[in-house]
Amino acid sequence: MTGIWYVVGFAVAGVSFVFLTIGLSWLITHRTRGDRHKGYPYESGIDTYGDTHARFGISFYIYALMFVAFDIEVIFIYLWALVFRDLALAGFVSMLVFVVILLVGLAYAWRKGVLTWK
Amino acid sequence: MTAIARAWDNLTVTGKILVPLLFLVLVVAPVATVLIALFVGPWVVDVLASNLGIVRFVVAITGVLVFTIPTAFVIIYMEMKVIARMNLRIGPDRVGPYGSLMSVVHGLKFLSKEDFTPTGADVPVFTLAPVVVFLATVMTFLVVPFGPGLVAQDLNIGLLYLFAIGGMNVVGLLMAGWASFNKYSLLGGLRAAAQAVSYEIPLTLSVVGLVLLAGTLSVYQIGAAQAGWFTDWFVFRQPLGALIFLIAGTAEANRSPLDMTEADQEIVAGFATEYSGMRFAFFFFAEYVNVFVMSALIVTLFFGAWNAPFPFPDVAPALDPGSLGIGLVLLLAAAPVALTLLFAAPFYLARSSTPAWQALLLGFITFSVVAVGGLLGAAYLGLDWFAGLAWFMVKTFVFVFVFVWMRGTFPRVRIDQLMGFAWKWLLPASLLNLFVTAAAILVVEALNKAG
């Protein structure tokens, strides 16, 4: 149980460190109001044009989907690797079947051109 | 020094009061500590001794936070200097000897810059983004073993913890990209997300081979499993895994040549475009600490952790200092004087024109060098954790240099090449590595059973 307290302690200490430093900086620095252009998003010197939160390519979405599939597989493989010596050949074969099924999915996505950034 | 003077001029009146106060605290605090130790020392020792767990907890956390600051400074200076040399420039040479205080001045400059939030920014998210990024980096230190016994907490799920916390980094980058209300930032954040989800998988898969070999998820145990000659290091049994880990680690740490998230020719500064002052500083503080963490992980997992490349000489202390009693005090008092005189003699005798005080000074300097060298050597031989720490830092900084070297050498890749490489090459290669390792373990165990 001490482990979880260390995790919490690190989180609390890290957050306080950042906020204390930013707070110190906030206390000692200049602040000027400036004109309305000061707060504008940087767009190479011209006023901002169009909607900032615009639409982006679908490829981001498909990569994220594939990530979810493979990341769950990774968690599973970690636990499998931990007990691999007890499972021996049976474990090897079943994991091979499991990964091959996932690889078929990858091959399908590859053929469909998902892996090519457009 | 003009840079310091300029930073000073930039401070407001409050700043001119607060910064000296800060230095006052830094000077007064140690003196006060000594006084307190003298007067309430025994009582404090009693209390601390009965709460050793809490003391260790506080020391570990403070130690890590304090350790990150000089580490980042050293790596930033190293990067400026090394890349300058690679570009046939000189690099920073104004502040401090060979410009070595340049990164300190950078830090002071960031501290004295305006804390600015652009119009249209999502303020809470904009404020929290650097916190998340910094936290993701600092929390990985929890399981990094600096030497035998020198680990904040040896979690039994260390590797999973590492990748879980390391993955938080990209959440921070995405938050920064979204909250900045800037097209370049949003693109940078999305690129960070796409890159992280692609390289996370080869990164995590590349170390499964180690889990198979070591039979544990604890980072400390994996490090301890590599003791002995350097041929026992896992890099010789998992060369493909080490290579994949290095490449995917570069992408995870957003380092050149895989730093699409902040490709300055394409999207200004990516997620950091709208950030300035201390918040910006935290992104880059985190990035350089991340370089250290990545190097430390490569060393821990593949290059023998804190273990020396050869079996450690088992030197028992020839003399127990405690047995000397009062003689130890006399020795400690007499040795500096005697040795200073001894080292001063050749300087004095060599040239008759040398004044006595100069010879004594030179003698004292020689003595200091010899004493520090001797103490370090004795500590190396006598203290396991010191020798481990020394090897660990040396090896880690070799890999920090490799990261800097890559940045100075390789051109940045295109984003489509970057994504394609992760899915079409690294992912199949890491699965291949996994199954070859598993098959090899099965074969070796079968042979052991037969023979």
Q: Chain B residue closest to A81 (CA)?
A: B212
Residue carrying the six token digits 């050293």: B74
Q: What is the pTM of this model?
A: 0.82
DSSP-H helix ranges across B153-273: 158-179, 183-206, 208-214, 219-224, 239-252, 264-267
Over the range A23-62, which residues count as b (16 or more CB within 10 Å of their CB) and which as e?
ebbeebbeeeeeeeeebbbbbeeeeeeeebeeeeeebeee
Q: What is the ipTM of this complex?
A: 0.86
CA of A63, closest CA in chain B: separation in Å? 7
Does B416 reach chain A within 8 Å, measured CB to CB? Answer: yes
CB-CB: which of B155, B415, B419 is closest to A3?
B155
CA of A103, closest CA in chain B: separation in Å? 9
Does B8 reach chain A within 8 Å, measured CB to CB? Answer: no
Determine the residue among B115, B419, B442 to mutate to test chain A binding: the one whose Cβ has the most chain A Cβ atoms within 10 Å.
B115
Torsion (CA) B126, B127, B129, B133 in degrees, nearest 10: 150
pLDDT tens track of chain B, all 451 residues? 677 788 777 777 777 777 778 877 888 888 887 887 777 777 777 777 777 778 888 888 888 888 888 898 999 999 989 999 998 998 888 887 888 888 888 888 888 888 778 887 888 888 888 999 999 888 888 888 888 877 878 888 888 888 888 888 888 888 888 888 888 888 888 888 888 888 888 999 888 888 888 888 888 888 888 887 878 888 888 889 899 999 998 888 888 777 766 766 677 777 777 788 888 888 888 889 999 999 999 999 998 888 878 776 666 555 566 666 677 777 777 777 888 778 877 777 777 777 777 778 888 888 888 888 888 887 777 777 888 888 899 999 999 999 999 988 888 888 788 888 888 888 889 999 988 988 888 888 888 888 7
- CA–CA dist B54, B52 (Å, integer): 5
CB-CB: which of B62, B212, B442 is closest to A81?
B212
Are residues B215 and A25, on separate chains, in Cβ contact within 8 Å? no
- CA–CA dist B133, B290 (Å, integer): 10
Q: Chain B residue closest to A25 (CA)?
A: B111
The 3-state secondary structure of B55-79, one letter per residue: HHHHHHHHHHHHHHHHHHHHHHHHH
Q: Which residues contact B425 (CB under 8 A, 6 or more apart)?
A: none
CATH 3.40.50.150 fits A2-111, yes or no: no
DSSP B414: P
Q: Answer whether B186's CB lies under 8 Å from B272's CB.
A: no
- CA–CA dist B41, B49 (Å, integer): 12
